[in-house]
Amino acid sequence: MGKALMIQGTSSGAGKSLLTLALCRILTNLGYDVVPFKSQNMSLNSAPSIEGGEISRAQYLQALACRKKPSVKFNPILLKPEGNMRSQVVFMGKPIGAVSAREYMLSTKEGLFKKAMQVLNELLEEHDVVVIEGAGSPVEINLKDYDIANMRVARYVNAKVILVTDIDRGGSFASIVGTMELLSEEEQELVMGFVFNKFRGDASLLKPGFDYLEKRYGKKVLGVIPYTEHKISEEDSLVEFPKIKGDLHIQIVKLPHISNFTDFEPLHWANGVDYVTKAEEIKGDLIIIPGSKNTVEDLLWMRENGIEDSIIQAHRDGAFVVGICGGFQMLGEKIIDNIESKRGEVRGIGLLKAKTVFAETKRTNHLKAEILWEPVRGLNIEGYEIRMGRSISERPFSIIREINGAKAFEPEGAVGERVFGTYLHGIFHNFEFTEQFLNMLRLENGLEPISVGRWSIEEEIERFSRIVAENIDLGLLMKLLDLE
């Protein structure tokens, strides 16, 4: 039977996801067979699993840290907020319906928890270590009785718990003490130590606080992780939608149901991006309509708020327009949706000659494609798709050459005059494409070409994990886990 190590936090954004990722890589590098697990995650940033299902991007990255293919087993329950206090429930990678927060809490989640624990037991039987990520805080008084992601999981598998806190926010010692005081004695026994995250300064100055925690609870501080810049996606709750006008004014429409906005991180690093929500703000050199959890509702929101008209006018004035996934569907001539919004046929923005019909089954795949769009024709790119829609266009953006490693020949996306749409999430993580595309726009605007820095998620995971390994008491951690 494998060991269960669980990372819980004093709050959302304390650093659970990244510490879990780092410990996954550290233990994997030491030769252990490791996998991640999170019973329930709420996120609009998802990724394809090896089974063709959908999991949170956090568990996807943690799987890569373990050098494992991402599986739905690592994130059995995924909640995708739809607004109006409702969320789509994805179980073992497949949507099983949408429920209100109250309905989910009082009825749905208990049955799913039992199934999720069966999955966790299987993982513990098959692997040396399962590194489990908690959710939010384990001691929210109004939620603790309904918890299926924190101490209830730890109790179920007798996990050793590390409690992590974000010292950069301030109040970290009070957060740890408050969390410990609200845990039961049984739960306090499961906590094996504390980690302080995002520290700037001399860690020796924290010693009086460490001594206090050890005297009061008999638990040691296992590490102090320095504040570290990285390119690993953070959890949704940490995302700040920036308003940066770079050399090129790249604007992204912040839709009410925006999803997979990690697509635009390379644009942020290379130039800066400006998220907009009002019609009068639309005036960029490049305007992007991103993916959406509810394509038709977000299209109608843009129509009602004048953003659609502003995009059309900006396009007439010379702006380049791009749509990704749901954004691509909106840019077409019509959408027929009897599945998601059930509004039937809806007029699209009309900048692309494309038609979309929503289907019952969701496509969730890793893709390799060859671009047909003339400025970068023949360029090979990679990405992934998570979509209900099926679109037809006479001028596709690319040809899909591989689906989950199997050969394919399937047109996707659409091209128009100074506009394209594609289903490929992650397209801008293809750095050669991003560099050529941005430099095309820079040349039009009289700007010098730039070189877009190349990096890999593997390098970022290894670099960040090495920093964590250098700043935790790994010997003590291994001893407490009985992995000496």
**Residue 345 exposed, middle or buried by CB count within 10 Å (0-12, 13-18, 19+):** exposed
The answer to whether the beta carbons of residues 57 and 47 sit under 8 Å apart is yes
Active-site hit among 257, 315, 325, 366: 325
pLDDT the model gives residue 139: 95
What mean pLDDT comes out for the span 402-414?
97
pLDDT the model gives residue 236: 56
In one-letter notation, the amino acid at residue 185 is: E
pLDDT the model gives residue 341: 80
Q: What is the pLDDT of residues 437-464, one digit of tens each?
A: 999 999 999 999 999 999 899 999 999 9
| Category of 367 on φ-ψ map: left (φ > 0), alpha (ψ -120 to 50) or beta | beta
pLDDT the model gives residue 106: 83
Active-site hit among 127, 315, 425, 429: 425
Cβ neighbours for 269, distance < 8 A, ≥ 6 positions apart: 231, 453
Alpha carbon distance 431, 353 (integer Å) = 28
H or E element, residue 91: strand 86-91
Report how far apart the first and last C-alpha atoms of the chain are (Å, whole number): 16
Catalytic: 425? yes
The answer to whether the beta carbons of residues 364 and 93 sit under 8 Å apart is yes
In this structure, of 101-110, 172-181, 302-311, the range with the lowest mean pLDDT score is 101-110
| Strand ranges, E, within 293-426 | 320-324, 334-337, 344-347, 354-371, 380-393, 398-403, 406-412, 414-416, 419-422
* Structural domains of the chain ordered from first start: 3-75+104-231+460-480 (3.40.50.300), 237-454 (3.40.50.880)
Q: What is the value of pTM for the model shown?
A: 0.94
In this structure, of 47-61, 228-242, 397-411, the range with the lowest mean pLDDT score is 228-242
Catalytic: 127? no
**pLDDT confidence tier of residue 143, bands split at 50, 70 and 90:** confident
pLDDT the model gives residue 239: 65
Q: What value, to the nearest 5°, has the Cα angle with vertex 149 and ends 148 and 153?
A: 80
In one-letter notation, the amino acid at residue 477 is: L
Q: What is the pLDDT of residues 37-94, one digit of tens each?
A: 999 999 989 999 999 999 999 999 999 999 999 999 999 999 998 877 889 999 999 9
